[in-house]
Chains A and B, each alone.
Chain A
Amino acid sequence: MITVKNLKKTFDDTPVLESINLEVKKGEVVCLVGASGSGKTTLLRCLNLLETPDEGSIRIGDKEVSFGEDKLSKKDIKDIRRYSGMVFQGFHLFPHMTLLENITQAPLTAKQQDKETIMKEASVLLEKVGLSEHQDKFPDALSGGQQQRAAIARALMMHPEVMLFDEPTSALDPQLVREVLKVIESLAKEGQTMVIVTHEMNFARRIADKAFFMDEGYILESGPAEQVLTDPKEDRTREFLALLEDE
């Protein structure tokens, strides 16, 4: 589903990603873990070209783009983005729209289906994330957990092959984390392909098939999530996990 080869990215001469290689198969749940500044969010944002890598290539579904010589065309960017949906740390719901409008705006704009189908699907999805009774409220009137669940529904409305999660629970009050993780977990059970940047280690061990530990722009260790997140080979990974345990 996703193949990343030799990806490299620098911000103003500071390297943030160095020779990144990774593969995600259809139906897999992959977690990116590591300290702040290790490059995991940047890597995730490269997968839908919110950041443009300097070198290397990314293939998602049937679309492959390489970086370096030529500037990316609008069409390349559009084609790549068609495969993924993104959930942000800060939700980024559209504040001037009700929840229902939030999740139907993009499909209605894209006009891939008729309005009736879209509305029907929206109500099914809102039910699924437990927000049916709030569908006519504005985001500002909802808790962070509710907003993030709505943001997940909004991304799912576009039928992405891959869901990208960028620290989906990091901006939430502790008591609201669970409700969001539950939604993500149910997606995992349905076989949704997902790439998740997270600090929730127990959650990652439970639902992820693979884990990538990132350190200073490199993927330092990768493998089955259970092994990488419980019994890592590298000292740095061990230190990082121990640090989280202390908290």
Chain B
Amino acid sequence: MFETFRNIRWEYLFDLELALDSLPFLLQGLQNTMIISLFSMVFALLLGIVIGIARMSKYAVLHLPARLYISFMRGTPLLVFVFILYYGLPVIGIEFNNALVAAIVGVSLNFAAYNAEVVRSAILSVPRGQWEAAATLQMDYFQTLRKIIIPQATRIALPPTFNIFMDVVKGTSLASVITVQELLYSARLVAGRTYDSMTMYISAALIYWMVCIVIGYFQDRLEVRYNRYLSK
């Protein structure tokens, strides 16, 4: 055990020069990471809202498919789902001409299920009295949802939604295994060429972290805005 530690070669921990040299190449990969991330966040959120509301419907034709969808997507690994899309579907004659599109579809559909649950729990957490007050003021279901419930539910949904957004960014790394040249793929290419896996993967990790810090910054700003009606 101590032998192992004594043999650690600290000088190989992080090669700053290599990191800086390869940074432009990694940032090129980051472009694809961001493309998949942003599209997936938007699609997963929109789809999640629809599925979440369907999940709460009293009509079985709406809530049963929503339940099944959420159950399947939450119950299967994203990587497996992406494999089904990219390697499985061509077998039956459906082919994505672009691995990037397959990645966006896979990540969006998968995270939509998590968003749906966040939407559902946020809407349920708005007190029943809000629905009743709106009903006695002659507002209908969708007016109430739009004007009264969703603004309040949004405040509650912000932290978990941003958790999901960060998971989306990190989840896009799985696109590297279906040949999308995104951040992790780029890091792996350099690592393969230079044999310096440590430096390259640490670099990739730091870049993912930076992206998530920026996302966290937006979360903070939105939380301030949506909490302004509460007295301290």
Contact = CB atoms under 8 A, between A and B. Distances in A.
A40 to B, nearest CB: 17
Nearest to A78: B138
Contact of B231 (A92, A106, A141): A141
B138 A50 contact: no
B137 A154 contact: yes
Contact of B130 (A81, A84, A94, A106): A94
Q: Is the contact region of chain A dominated by helix, strand, or loop, or is it mixed?
A: mixed
Given A106-B138, A141-B231, A92 B147 contact: no
B132 A158 contact: no
Given A105-B147, A109-B139, A109-B147, A92 B230 contact: no
A140 interface: yes
A243 interface: no
Contacts of B148: 94, 105
Contact of B229 (A95, A106, A109, A154): A95
A138 B229 contact: yes
A155 interface: yes
Interface in A88-117: 88, 90, 92-97, 105-106, 109-110
B136 A50 contact: yes
A95 B152 contact: yes
B143 A109 contact: yes
Contacts of A217: none
Nearest to B128: A92
Contacts of A110: 138-139
B131 to A, nearest CB: 9
B65 interface: no
B161 to A, nearest CB: 17
A140 B137 contact: no
Contact of B138 (A82, A90, A95): A82
Interface in B138-159: 138-140, 143, 147-148, 151-152, 155
Interface string B199-232: 0000000000000000000000000000001110
10 contacts: A78-B138, A78-B140, A86-B136, A88-B129, A93-B133, A95-B230, A138-B231, A140-B229, A158-B138, A164-B136
Interface of A: 48, 50, 78, 81-82, 84-86, 88, 90, 92-97, 105-106, 109-110, 138-141, 151, 154-155, 158, 164
Given A81-B138, A88-B133, 18 more contacts: A81-B136, A86-B132, A88-B129, A88-B132, A90-B129, A92-B127, A92-B132, A94-B130, A94-B148, A95-B230, A105-B148, A109-B139, A109-B143, A109-B147, A138-B230, A140-B231, A155-B137, A164-B136
